[in-house]
Structure 1
């Protein structure tokens, strides 16, 4: 069986949500967003560990959530997050056991489907690195510093990256080590693997696997959960 660890960065603030509480710890239908998110991975074969990287203020809260939702054979940890997402992931990688695959998933994507997670893990096992994503549905413009359009890329080759992003453990560890040495900052975990020189396969995800960022997203999430549990 392929063993897997799940890393969930949850150190972001709630500023864009206009809330004092960080987004992962906001409640939806009696449970935090983080709890809803973790539960999406519990049916996955080979899951041995879940690590949540969060602010020091919420370490205890994260541990309580993990203790509540994780089965006895899955270990849960919380680690201090860093100033940037990349720092938080690096801190989480430092406590991983010897596993085959590392999954990294946004704390505020609670609607990822189990079948998509499985497909992404299977592809990562074959190729070393795989991420969920969806084809771009809008026309994308590349602009200059003055906000003038410079190019309209062919939409057929543009995908919107999602999570989970899944990697062989040795691949993602080497990617983070090189990024630290070179002081390279990526916009997602896959970009560090690309910087390492490794190819990343994209696996088609779903539009429902959206990231809760703004108040409207929270309203939509609440409706989806109520529909699911109603």
Structure 2
């Protein structure tokens, strides 16, 4: 793949969450994995990319862990205030990008802080495929298992056609100003926004699905961290 053909991009990492399901003594993005915090591994997925323009990390105001990381002093990384919800943190990061001189049409890749196993091949494929797309899109994986819809009593009410179902991953790649505007309008309307794609969908746009690797795992539970540690130990 010819790197100069890939578009330059900014990365946004919302990292203000607490990750309560990990049942740990600190937010999950600061748990240790192979000698570094999960967040450091996540940042490493982008920091050595030659087309990166910079990174904005959204952090809680009282975050005591970030200043302890060596990457906190990296001049390519900028800090934005975290919000109550993911959408708030991403919106704040986009505002910060504007203050840093980013153009409205610049590509922004939003990636989960606790998704440290992003493959360079997936990142480059996302950039290459969406370079000239009018909307943008996201990494995703087609559903592989049989899916059931539950009723209020926890019983199966329907088997869902999995051929049209995809599991949304990150990064999610959109132009700065359309994403900022979609998030702002959705928040003003009180819409439920769970990821950047859902904001663009709410604005009436159809993001493109780019199939990625299934091991682009988001660390949510203790067993996820254990799985990654074992997998990386085999490298």
Q: Same fold (TM over 0.5)?
A: yes
Q: Structure 1 pair 36/57, CA: closer, same or farther in 2 (3 Å)? A: same
Contact 1:14–1:20 (8 Å) recurs in 2: no
Superposed CA offset, 1:72-109 (max 9, x none): 6xx21122211111111111111013242000000111
Is structure 2 residue 22 aligned with structure 1 residue 17?
A: yes
Structure 2 CA distance for aligned equivalents of residues 165 and 59 of structure 1: 28
Contact 2:148–2:160 (8 Å) recurs in 1: yes
Superposed counterparts of 1:146-225, under 5 Å = 146-225=153-232
Contact 1:33–1:110 (8 Å) recurs in 2: yes
Contact 1:63–1:78 (8 Å) recurs in 2: no
Superposed CA offset, 1:161-192 (max 9, x none): 10000011222112112112212122211011
Contact 2:86–2:194 (8 Å) recurs in 1: no
User: SS in structure 1 opposite 2:180?
Assistant: helix
Contact 1:135–1:159 (8 Å) recurs in 2: yes
Aligned length: 224
Structure 1 CA distance for aligned equivalents of residues 184 and 96 of structure 2: 15
Q: Structure 1 pair 202/59, CA: closer, same or farther in 2 (3 Å)? A: farther
Q: Structure 1 pair 190/63, CA: closer, same or farther in 2 (3 Å)? A: farther
Structure 2 CA distance for aligned equivalents of residues 202 and 158 of structure 1: 11
Is structure 2 residue 38 aligned with structure 1 residue 33?
A: yes
User: SS in structure 2 opposite 1:167?
Assistant: strand
User: SS in structure 2 opposite 1:150?
Assistant: strand
Match of 2:116 in 1: 110
Q: Structure 1 pair 145/79, CA: closer, same or farther in 2 (3 Å)? A: same
Q: Structure 1 pair 130/65, CA: closer, same or farther in 2 (3 Å)? A: farther
Q: Compute the displacement of 1:60 (Å).
A: 6.5
Q: Structure 1 pair 67/81, CA: closer, same or farther in 2 (3 Å)? A: closer
**Consecutive aligned runs of 4 or more in structure 1 exceeding 6 Å deviation:** none
User: SS in structure 2 opposite 1:118?
Assistant: helix
Normalised by the length of structure 2, the TM-score is 0.88
Contact 2:30–2:65 (8 Å) recurs in 1: no
Structure 2: stretches of 5+ with no match in the other structure: none
Please report the RMSD computed on the Cα atoms of aligned residues, expressed in angstroms: 1.9
Match of 1:98 in 2: 102
Contact 1:6–1:102 (8 Å) recurs in 2: yes
Match of 1:4 in 2: 9
